[in-house]
Amino acid sequence: MTKFLLSAHVIAAIVAIGPVTVAASMFPAAVRRAQTAGADADAGATASVRLLHRICRVYALLGIAVPVFGFATASAMGVLTDPWLLVSIALTAVAAGLLALAVLPRQDALLGRIDGGGAPVERAETARLAMLTGVFNLLWAVVTVLMIVRPGSTTGA
């Protein structure tokens, strides 16, 4: 059962978190392109921004499966109290909070301004969003390394 849970956990991470990290990283540049295209823009520039935001929202929801399978796997392996796992859980919670409370709302606001013809998007706004997205991606990279290295593991790796 542990192998199944671990496989489900890894597959969920690849399928759910991968698209969020890529789409969120592409979003700020897509906003800048849509903004500079202005009124003469083809609908493609704005459609790209909408698509990237939708990918982030949908896959963020699917990403809930990652910690669910992760907790089940850790429980089956008997490592729920190991420090490397506790750090991973904390970093995952920070990454999820950053996505839910900062990245997605800022994407939503920028998309609304592009769609609704609101105030022009400042380059500094997209730069801040890119920075937040970079922190989100870095947190996932650290969690991934912790999951592979697992300090004190007996895998021999």
Residue 29 CA to residue 81 CA, distance in Å, equals: 41
Q: What is the gyration radius of the CA atoms in the chain, in angstroms? A: 18
Distance from first CA to last CA of the chain, Å, rounded? 23
Tokens representing 73?
Answer: 């796997």
Measured CA distances, 53 to 6, 22, 60, 75, 137 (Å): 29, 11, 10, 34, 16
pLDDT at 36 (0 to 100)? 80
pLDDT at 157 over 70: no
Distance CA 71, CA 48 (A): 35
Query: Is the per-residue pLDDT at 123 higher than 60?
Result: yes
Q: Enter the pTM of the model.
A: 0.90
Residue 40: pLDDT band by 50, 70, 90 thresholds? low
